[in-house]
Structure 1
Amino acid sequence: MSLAFIFPGQGSQAVGMGAELAEAFASAREVFQEVDDALGQNLSRLMREGPEDQLTLTENAQPALMAVSLAVMRVLERDFSAGIGKAAFVAGHSLGEYSALAAAGALSLSDAARLLRVRGQAMQRALPVGAGAMASLIGPKTDVALAEEAAAEGAKFGVCVVANDNNQGNVVISGDKAAVGAAIEKAKALGARAILLNVSAPFHCPLMQPAADEMAEALASARIIAPAAPVVTNVTARPTLDPEAIRGLLVDQVTGRVRWRESMLWLAGEGGITRFAEAGSGKVLAGMAKRIAPDAAAVSLNSPADLETFAATV
Structure 2
Amino acid sequence: MSKVAFLFPGQGSQHAGMGKELYEHHTKAKSLIDEADNILDYPLSGLMFNGPEEHLKKTENAQPALLTTSIAALELLKEKGVTPDYTAGHSLGEYSALVSSGVLSFKNALTVVRQRGLFMEEAVPSGVGAMSAIMGIEREELETLTSKVEEDGEIVQLANLNAPGQIVISGADSAVKKVEELAREKGAKRVISLEVSGPFHSKLMQPAQDKLESVLEPVPFSDAEVPVIANVNAQEATDASVIKNQLVEQVTSPVYWEDTIRRLLALDVTTFVEVGPGNVLSGLVRRVQRRGVNVYSAQDIESIEKIVENIQ
| TM above 0.5 | yes
**Structure-2 residue corresponding to 1:159:** 155
Once the two structures are superposed, residues 201-240 of structure 1 have per-residue CA deviations (whole angstroms, 9 ceiling, x without a partner) of: 0000100000000110011011110122100000010001
Contact 1:157 1:179 in 2 (8 A): no
* Other structure's SS at 1:291 match: helix
Task: For 2:10 and 2:138, locate their aligned partners in 1 and report how far apart those are by CA, in whole Å.
Answer: 21
Q: Work out which of the residue numbers 184, 187, 200 in structure 2 matches 1:188.
A: 184
Task: For 2:306 and 2:260, locate their aligned partners in 1 and report how far apart those are by CA, in whole Å.
Answer: 26
Amino acid at match of 1:40: D
**Structure-2 residue corresponding to 1:42:** 43
Question: Once the 2 structures are TM-superposed, how far is the Cα of residue 72 of structure 1 from its aligned partner?
Answer: 0.6
Which segment is superposed worse, 171-180 or 19-28? 19-28
Contact 1:134 1:172 in 2 (8 A): yes
Q: Work out which of the residue numbers 271, 275, 279 in structure 2 matches 1:279.
A: 275
Task: For 1:171 and 1:87, locate their aligned partners in 2 and report how far apart those are by CA, in whole Å.
Answer: 27
**Structure-2 residue corresponding to 1:122:** 119
Question: Once the 2 structures are TM-superposed, how far is the Cα of residue 146 of structure 1 from its aligned partner?
Answer: 2.5
**Structure-1 residue corresponding to 2:81:** 81
Q: Work out which of the residue numbers 132, 146, 149 in structure 1 matches 2:144.
A: 149
Task: For 1:31 and 1:169, locate their aligned partners in 2 and report how far apart those are by CA, in whole Å.
Answer: 38
Structure 1 stretches of 5 or more lacking a match? none
Which segment is superposed worse, 304-313 or 251-260? 304-313
**Structure-2 residue corresponding to 1:71:** 72
How many residues are treated as equivalent by the alignment?
307
Point out 4+ residue stretches in structure 1 off by more than 4 angstroms: none
Contact 1:159 1:179 in 2 (8 A): yes
**Structure-1 residue corresponding to 2:164:** 168
* Other structure's SS at 2:307 match: helix
**Structure-2 residue corresponding to 1:221:** 218
Once the two structures are superposed, residues 127-160 of structure 1 have per-residue CA deviations (whole angstroms, 9 ceiling, x without a partner) of: 1011000000013xx2211221221233235100
Q: Does residue 303 in structure 1 map to residue 308 in structure 2?
A: no
Q: Does residue 15 in structure 1 map to residue 10 in structure 2?
A: no
Once the two structures are superposed, residues 4-50 of structure 1 have per-residue CA deviations (whole angstroms, 9 ceiling, x without a partner) of: 00000000000001111111111111111121111111101110011
Question: Once the 2 structures are TM-superposed, how far is the Cα of residue 278 of structure 1 from its aligned partner?
Answer: 0.2
Task: For 1:17 and 1:10, locate their aligned partners in 2 and report how far apart those are by CA, in whole Å.
Answer: 13
Task: For 1:173 and 1:51, locate their aligned partners in 2 and report how far apart those are by CA, in whole Å.
Answer: 28
Contact 1:27 1:74 in 2 (8 A): yes
Task: For 1:19 and 1:293, locate their aligned partners in 2 and report how far apart those are by CA, in whole Å.
Answer: 32
Q: Work out which of the residue numbers 174, 181, 184 in structure 2 matches 1:178.
A: 174
Amino acid at match of 1:138: M
Contact 1:164 1:173 in 2 (8 A): yes
Task: For 1:164 and 1:149, locate their aligned partners in 2 and report how far apart those are by CA, in whole Å.
Answer: 16
Question: Once the 2 structures are TM-superposed, how far is the Cα of residue 189 of structure 1 from its aligned partner?
Answer: 0.8
Once the two structures are superposed, residues 157-189 of structure 1 have per-residue CA deviations (whole angstroms, 9 ceiling, x without a partner) of: 510000000001210000001100100001111
**Structure-1 residue corresponding to 2:96:** 99
Query: What does 1:204-283 correspond to in 2, within 5 Å?
Result: 204-269=201-266, 271-283=267-279
Amino acid at match of 1:246: I
Contact 1:136 1:195 in 2 (8 A): yes
Q: Work out which of the residue numbers 262, 281, 285 in structure 2 matches 1:289.
A: 285
Amino acid at match of 1:184: E
Once the two structures are superposed, residues 91-144 of structure 1 have per-residue CA deviations (whole angstroms, 9 ceiling, x without a partner) of: 0000000000011111011111110011000011111011000000013xx221
Structure 2 stretches of 5 or more lacking a match? none
Once the two structures are superposed, residues 36-88 of structure 1 have per-residue CA deviations (whole angstroms, 9 ceiling, x without a partner) of: 1111111011100111111000000001001111001111123x122xxx211
Which segment is superposed worse, 90-99 or 291-300? 291-300
Task: Please tell me the root mean square deviation across aligned C-alpha atoms, in Å.
Answer: 1.0
Q: TM-score, normalised by structure 1?
A: 0.96
Once the two structures are superposed, residues 237-273 of structure 1 have per-residue CA deviations (whole angstroms, 9 ceiling, x without a partner) of: 000100000000000000000000001101101x110
